[in-house]
Amino acid sequence: MALKILSSPPPEPEQVAQRLAQAIADALPGADVDVQIGSPGHFELAVTSRGLAGLSRVKQQQAVYAAIAHLMAGDDAPVHAIDRMTIRTS
């Protein structure tokens, strides 16, 4: 078993929620994003974006996940799961 030494404390959930909202807003200009904090590393997203209109639900979700992939990657990822994702196009 390897010993893992953390160089800094994990980010506060509010900071992670802001980073999630900003990443989605950057990828989907004009989107309205609401992030709710759940248990540690778990979040719920509500995204309203006209830019996702005409896409299947799977493609809409893939677009949102692509926007936040960097926050979910690696062993020290601040986001472990999106427990609920609601997407609206109007």
Q: Give me the pLDDT at residue 10, please.
A: 74
Residue 4, domain member (yes or no): no
Q: Give me the pLDDT at residue 4, please.
A: 62
Q: Are 48 and 90 in contact (CB under 8 A)?
A: yes
Residue 1, domain member (yes or no): no
Residue 3, domain member (yes or no): no
Give the CB-side neighbour count of residue 2, counting CA atoms within 13 A.
Answer: 3
Q: Which domain holds residue 64?
A: 13-88
Domain count, the chain: 1
Per residue of the chain (90 residues), give pLDDT as tens. Answer: 666 666 667 789 999 999 999 999 999 999 999 999 999 999 999 999 999 999 999 999 999 999 999 999 998 899 999 999 999 998
Q: Give me the pLDDT at residue 9, please.
A: 73
Residue 5, domain member (yes or no): no
Q: Which residues contact 50 (CB under 8 A, 6 or more apart)?
A: 30, 89, 90
Q: Give me the pLDDT at residue 2, please.
A: 65
Q: Are 64 and 72 in contact (CB under 8 A)?
A: no
Residue 6, domain member (yes or no): no
* CATH number of the domain within which 49 lies: 3.30.300.90
Q: Are 37 and 20 in contact (CB under 8 A)?
A: no
